[in-house]
Structure 1
């Protein structure tokens, strides 16, 4: 995978250090000046993502308990006709 970083030199260096902590950097172009009058640099990295960890053993789901009402509960009011308001 290729990544392009663009920012001020200190920020790009900080980002490279953070990325190196979580993935393998295979190639690094080093900082290159941006075109035109800019203080920013660009840096190209080729990285390798870490291998995925083996999946953990799934925990069996707990049986759910369904609670059913025996009485119908309070009556619901009739819907209000709002067509006159449109």
Structure 2
């Protein structure tokens, strides 16, 4: 649902914390409580401003063109810079 294992793990941990803080005498079904809690946490995360800000809407950078005939110099960092920007 989130598209990232790390984000999913964070949501499950938050759900686990809420499960331990919940008054279990008021919970009729543990499964329903956990499914609803995790689902709502996921939806809230996807609606958050942070996720929308991190989504890149522009076009990706062009692939660097490697020309073996050109002599590389120490000051030429174009390929390295393009690879860093892509990451």
- What is the TM-score of this pair, normalised by structure 2? 0.24
The structure with the larger Rg is 1
More strand, by proportion: 1
Higher relative contact order (CA 8 A, sep 6+): 1
Structure number with higher helix proportion: 2
Task: Provide TM-score, normalisation by structure 1.
Answer: 0.24
